[in-house]
Amino acid sequence: MGCMNGKQDDEKNGKEEKGMKRANTGSAQRGEEARSELAVLSVKTDTKYADEFIQAVGQEVFLRLFSTSLDHDKAKQKDGFMILVEEQDGLSDKQKQDLKRAQEIGLKVFRTYTDDDFLSMKAIRTISATVRSWCDDKDKSGKMDMENIFVGKDGAKKDGEAKP
């Protein structure tokens, strides 16, 4: 699921997209069905955290079932969403553009944010559970606001939850 929306990023994203497709194939072989929704993953380019995030998503049982798109509009048409990965030092200019575009067209955004350079599988599972809950909800009307998910030192949690 490692793609950053934008034609200029296609070459950098090739390895992550191929990796996600391999994960989808593996999931299908285990009897898990690929999802019809499309996902946009907005990460910084060339950071260790982004690389680890992409790898972890490809290994996570539910998140690896999604195909990715470089096109926000296409993702919106397929009832998709965007995972916006905010590192400790904030969003890149490209990620800010991704967020603006997603908000303009009403694409669901799951924003992860952190105060750490370490990413745990617990954090990825929290993100997965949040995305799954939204995807499985038959009535998404009124549920398109951005959801913030903290994945830092104090543990993974959705906004509004008590710290673990």
Number of H helices, E strands in the chain: 5, 6
Mean pLDDT score, 65-70: 89
pTM tops 0.75:
yes
In this predicted model, what pLDDT tens digit does every residue of 85-117 receive, in sequence order?
999 999 999 999 999 999 999 999 999 999 999
Question: What whole-number distance in Å separates Cα of residue 90 and Cα of residue 96?
Answer: 10
Q: CA 109, 99, 56 angle in degrees (round to 5)?
A: 55
In this predicted model, what pLDDT tens digit does every residue of 114-148 receive, in sequence order?
999 999 999 999 999 999 999 999 888 889 999 99
In this predicted model, what pLDDT tens digit does every residue of 10-26 receive, in sequence order?
333 443 333 333 334 34
